[in-house]
A and B are shown apart, each in its own frame.
Chain A
Amino acid sequence: MKINDLEQLESEDITTLPSTERRTFLKMGLAVTGMYLSGTVLSLTTAGRVNAANVVPESGEYPYNPHYSMVMREHLCIDCERCKEACTKTNHVPSHGFRTTILEKRRSLGGDAYETIFVPVLCNHCNRPPCVRVCPTTATWKDEKTGIVVMEPSRCIGCKTCMAACPYNARYFKEETRAVDKCNFCLDTRLSKGETTTACAEACPADVRVFGNLADPDSRVFQLLHSPGTTVWVLRPETGAMPNVFYINS
């Protein structure tokens, strides 16, 4: 094609486009940009019902009522072990095992200085308990009323899969009953007899362990977990067990 012929052709630049077509193009561009932008902004906020984003379930979304849980005010623990003694005595825990114990961690403060933090641990009575899922004979289950993970020793075949499945090392084999034993928030020894708290929580002189019904907005556990500015964490959240033992610093 020669240059003279080219000049004869109709121009294809934007000045010849009708305004409706230009508007349509602009709208499409805005829509694409908007989608990317809103996606980015949304990803910065907590997605509504995704519990993994927040270790404490949203208010009103507790599977049980009473929904028993425990809040550990971690930095108050002095490792006096009165909780362990009370648990052992109340629940006839043999010397070769434990239902609750206290872990110790050290955090460097720079140089030679460090702080020691005591971490009380027990069964987390998870909302998605791995131990319950794996038991071949339903010797362990979530109590339908309270959400407490309970054991029926006479059904336990001693395969110890629940012990392997528990992310919290909360289970042990009790030779005396020939069954796996674990914390049940003193369901049989105290709660069923009208007591309102566990032996370990009652024995704690530093008010570290706070036991109660998370489904009750007036309960202390609810208020501790829902106070403004409080950081709440759980142990091993990555396992997806959704534990009901919460840790706070305040």
Chain B
Amino acid sequence: MEGNVTITSAPEAIKPAINRLMWLALFMIFIGVAGAVYAQIIGHHHAFANTREMPWGMLIGVYAYFAIISTGLCVLAAFSHVFGGNRMAPVANRMVWLSIMALLGAFTVIGLEIENPWRMPLGVILHPNVTSNIWWMGTLYGMAVGIMLLEFGLILTKRFTAAVIFGVLAAIAESLANSNLGSVFASLSSHPFWYGAQLPIFFLGSAVLSGAAAIVLFTHYSYILQKKEIGEYTFLSLQTAGKIMILMTFLVSVATGWKFANAYSGSEAMVMAADSLTSGPLSTNFWVFEIGIGLALPCLLLVVTRLKSVYVMSTAALMILVGQFFSRFNLVVSGEIVPANYGFVGVPQYFSYSPTVAEYLLVIAGFGVVGFGFLAGEWFLGKVFHHKVFHPHTDIDHH
């Protein structure tokens, strides 16, 4: 069988639904790119709400959001492929595919966010800066997407041993890229609320949480699209992802708690930044979305229902992904919201930032890319995602 490509077309019954959704995703990409073109023409300075003092906004958060989901999926897939015994192997192929798609979504957003994307490909090769976290992040994520495409090619052609090796390499590249993304913020001593050694680890923890949530959500949606019952093995996979969600919502909550305990014993700027989230302009985002919907409620739902219902797990996963979206936004904005010159005449306590229409359009493009990727995967690769396809571990585990 080695060497046989298993790209197939979707079953006729589900084609119309996927077709419609694919057009919707394409439309989302189209309006997002239209927004980006508009922003380029009139200038990001006018199109986006960013300022000299707050050069980064929602789009940086959304880039990090997709990149972090990608890392989580890739790392969990590698663990499942290598060790098998964690029962997630049946959904590991879908995780690899979605990881690639999430990263492409991230690249779409960051590519449209930066002012001169055309200067980047040659710039990072001809004039690299090895002290730059951005450089490492871009290089490693770029490598990761390449390695994962190779890995997926090997999965399709059933060269599983090589695929596992590439999967591990991809997971290492993704993890290092992700912690570099953390360090983009964490190494800036000018922003004390970002600065510190733990943020890259927080990002990796968020990645595992987001990745587990993403695979539950997308697998469930895949079965809804197919109008099929989730089989036993796949359900066991989702339960494992559910356990990871419980563990990681707890750990991320603990990390968040200490972050604030630490901030409140820090400098005035740290206290003000923490206040912006707990009682200031970002407090609704923080309490309702990041903590309530994103961490506390899904954790509670999963524990109370004891991972028995796929609908509950899927709902919790959606809540977690909404919470993670807000978490990235909150992180970016809270780190910049306190003016460096606070205390001087005319300098406000907090800068104000609310994203513009153009910024929302770019976010839609990012979701469009990930959505299109998911649907394309279901259309062409549905068979590869089936639990019986992949490697010996799967069969050994379930018999």
Contacts and interface: CB of A to CB of B under 8 A. Distances in A.
A157 B135 contact: no
Q: Which of A161, A163, A178, A236 counts the most B-chain CB atoms under 10 A from its CB?
A: A161
A13 interface: no
B187 to A, nearest CB: 8
B368 to A, nearest CB: 23
Q: Which of B116, B135, B347 counts the most A-chain CB atoms under 10 A from its CB?
A: B116
Nearest to B191: A164
A161 B187 CA distance: 11
Given A135-B129, A167-B340, A169-B341, A158 B188 contact: no
Interface stretch (A53-61, A97-105, A199-207): A97-105
Nearest to A163: B55
Contact of B344 (A103, A130, A139, A173): A103
A155 B190 contact: no
Contacts of B116: 156-158, 178-179
A172 interface: yes
Contact of B346 (A104, A168, A178): A104
A137 B189 contact: no
A154 B119 contact: yes
B344 A161 contact: no
Contacts of A168: 340
Interface residues of A, number: 42
A238 B192 CA distance: 10
A217 interface: no
A119 B188 contact: no
A20 to B, nearest CB: 52
Interface stretch (B120-128, B165-173, B205-213, B288-296): B120-128
Contacts of B50: 160
A157 B55 contact: no
Contact of B188 (A130, A137, A157, A172): A130
Q: Which of B115, B267, B343 counts the most A-chain CB atoms under 10 A from its CB?
A: B115
Nearest to A239: B189
- Range of interface residues on B (Cβ < 8 Å): 35 or more
A130 B131 contact: no
B222 to A, nearest CB: 35
A134 interface: yes
Interface string A179-218: 1000000000000000000000000000000000000000
Interface string B80-103: 000000000000000000000000
B340 A236 contact: yes
B188 A165 contact: yes
Contacts of B120: 136-137, 157
A241 B340 CA distance: 15
B124 A96 contact: no
B132 A134 contact: yes
B115 A137 contact: no
Contacts of A239: 189-190
B56 interface: yes
B345 A166 contact: no
A177 to B, nearest CB: 10
B115 A136 contact: no
A77 to B, nearest CB: 13
Contacts of A134: 131-134, 184, 187-188
Contacts of A163: 52, 55
Contacts of A159: 114-115, 134
Interface string B5-44: 0000000000000000000000000000000000000011
Contacts of A97: 52
Interface of A: 96-97, 103-106, 116, 119, 130, 133-139, 154-161, 163-169, 171-173, 175, 178-179, 236, 238-241
Given A159-B114, A159-B115, A241-B190, 13 more contacts: A134-B133, A135-B132, A137-B124, A137-B128, A156-B119, A157-B117, A157-B119, A161-B132, A164-B191, A165-B188, A172-B52, A173-B45, A175-B45
Shortest 8 CB-CB contacts between residues of A and residues of B: A158-B115, A137-B123, A167-B190, A160-B55, A136-B135, A104-B345, A136-B134, A163-B55
Interface of B: 43-45, 50, 52-53, 55-56, 114-117, 119-120, 123-124, 127-129, 131-135, 138, 184, 187-191, 267, 336, 340-341, 343-347
5 contacts: A103-B344, A104-B345, A137-B135, A139-B127, A165-B190
